[in-house]
């Protein structure tokens, strides 16, 4: 048998050289070296020739297989380089173009201030508890020493969920029900804060139907009003980063604390901003639309013995204090936000201005 290895090599090299694209070259590789390729088929014929010829033909075929492989590799490198160059020439990138704007969200002041408050109390050893926004009458009122028909129920402007006024389910009007939930579920001593949303059917410049509070309470032995004042004053100083926050404890009434107080912070407010500052004695409206006065930021007091009893705690053994802070109020004072209602208008421009970088 005669087999023209030279011709096969020449044809193959010509075919390889003629390939213009990597895909065509790959086809060619299969045609030549693939399972049924020309060279492979030629190698298969070795079995049917005499030993002498097998030797020379075998050597020659292996030689051309090597040459073809080398030619394909070289051509492949060539084509890849050319193809890359063509792409680079075609796909231009202008590195001087300004970067695309990535929209960035802001942290809402309510979220930010809640985190700040939580952190300060956590450092004082308080742990965090939560309760449901949808409450029952018992936790929101009765257990907090506000019996049915008590006038304090009217004070709360409650959103009832079933019926009107006679239903048992409501949107909690304060975070105080978390006191009841926590005290009934565990054993004292307690040192707990509970941030969350609260709801009252009330809307004007200083009230929105939904707002946020942080409840705080400490139940232990021998707790007195001095602990309450110390804890709250220390908190306010740390929160406002000021040594002399003008704070006023004003006697007040809550059915679940006795004695009770409201905490006010001295401030100056105009329609552009609100800032902390001790009001002068006359606290009358100033020139330029600025008003001096006190802003109520929290209610507090010593936990009423009836509340302790309702949670199966003996008031002779355990005492405590509690407070409920208005988060928006604190945010307004710390960050100079003049109008409470803007917190919930969902105006992105407002959030860009008053919000915080994540």
Q: Which residues bind ligand PHE (CB under 6 A)?
A: 174, 176, 254, 257, 260, 299-301, 322-324
The least distance separating ligand PHE from the CB of residue 198, rounded to whole angstroms, comes to 7
Please say which residue, 37 or 131, places its beta carbon nearer to ligand PHE. 131
Residue-wise DSSP of 305-327: HHHHHHTT--TTT-EEEEEEEEH
The least distance separating ligand PHE from the CB of residue 261, rounded to whole angstroms, comes to 8
Question: Cα(113)–Cα(328) distance, rounded to whole angstroms?
Answer: 8
Cross-strand pairs, 217: 192, 322
**261 and 253 Cβ atoms separated by less than 8 Å:** no
Please say which residue, 117 or 322, places its beta carbon nearer to ligand PHE. 322
How far lies 5's CA from each of 30, 89, 238, in Å? 18, 41, 93
CA-nearest of 329, 353, 336 to 275 is 336
The least distance separating ligand PHE from the CB of residue 304, rounded to whole angstroms, comes to 9
Please tell me what DSSP assigns to residue 91.
Answer: S
Please say which residue, 195 or 324, places its beta carbon nearer to ligand PHE. 324
Please say which residue, 72 or 303, places its beta carbon nearer to ligand PHE. 303
Please say which residue, 28 or 145, places its beta carbon nearer to ligand PHE. 145
The least distance separating ligand PHE from the CB of residue 353, rounded to whole angstroms, comes to 29
Q: Phi, psi (5° rounding) for residue 67?
A: -60, -45
The least distance separating ligand PHE from the CB of residue 101, rounded to whole angstroms, comes to 43
Cross-strand pairs, 295: 265
Q: Phi, psi (5° rounding) for residue 144?
A: -90, 25
Beta-sheet pairing, 134-136 with 247-254: unpaired
Please say which residue, 322 or 330, places its beta carbon nearer to ligand PHE. 322
Question: Cα(94)–Cα(141) distance, rounded to whole angstroms?
Answer: 67
The least distance separating ligand PHE from the CB of residue 141, rounded to whole angstroms, comes to 11
Residue 227: both structure tokens together: 């602990």
Please say which residue, 64 or 178, places its beta carbon nearer to ligand PHE. 178
Cross-strand pairs, 354: none
The least distance separating ligand PHE from the CB of residue 161, rounded to whole angstroms, comes to 19
């Amino acid at each position: 048998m005669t087999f023209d290895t030279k011709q096969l090599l020449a044809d193959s090299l010509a075919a390889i050289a003629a390939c213009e694209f990597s895909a065509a070259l790959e086809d060619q590789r299969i045609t030549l070296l693939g399972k049924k390729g020309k060279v492979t088929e030629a190698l298969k014929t070795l079995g049917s020739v005499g030993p002498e010829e097998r030797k020379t033909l075998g050597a020659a075929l292996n030689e051309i297989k090597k040459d073809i492989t080398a030619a394909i590799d070289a051509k492949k490198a060539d084509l890849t380089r050319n193809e890359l160059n063509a792409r680079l020439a075609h796909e231009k990138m202008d590195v001087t173009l300004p970067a695309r704007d990535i929209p960035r969200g802001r942290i809402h002041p309510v979220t930010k201030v809640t985190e700040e408050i939580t952190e300060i109390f956590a450092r004082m050893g308080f742990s965090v508890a939560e309760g449901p926004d949808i409450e029952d009458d018992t936790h929101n009122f009765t257990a907090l020493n506000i019996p049915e028909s008590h006038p304090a129920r009217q004070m709360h402007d409650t959103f009832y969920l079933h019926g009107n006024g006679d239903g048992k389910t409501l949107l909690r009007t304060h975070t105080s029900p978390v006191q009841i939930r926590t005290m009934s579920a565990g054993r004292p001593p307690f040192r707990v804060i509970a941030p969350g949303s609260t709801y009252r059917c009330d809307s004007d410049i200083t009230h929105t139907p939904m707002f946020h509070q942080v409840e705080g309470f400490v139940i232990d032995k021998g707790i007195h009003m001095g602990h309450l004042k110390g804890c709250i004053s220390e908190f306010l100083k740390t929160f406002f980063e000021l040594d002399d926050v003008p704070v006023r404890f004003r006697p007040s009434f809550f059915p679940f604390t006795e004695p009770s107080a409201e905490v006010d912070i001295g401030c100056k407010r105009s329609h552009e901003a609100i800032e902390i500052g001790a009001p002068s004695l006359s606290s009358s409206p100033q020139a330029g639309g600025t008003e001096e006065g006190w802003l109520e930021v929290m209610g507090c007091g010593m936990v009423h013995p009836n509340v302790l009893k309702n949670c199966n705690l003996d008031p002779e053994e355990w005492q405590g204090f509690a407070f409920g802070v208005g988060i928006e109020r604190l945010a307004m004072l710390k960050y100079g936000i003049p109008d409470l209602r803007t917190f919930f208008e969902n105006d992105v421009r407002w959030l860009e201005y008053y919000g915080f970088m994540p």
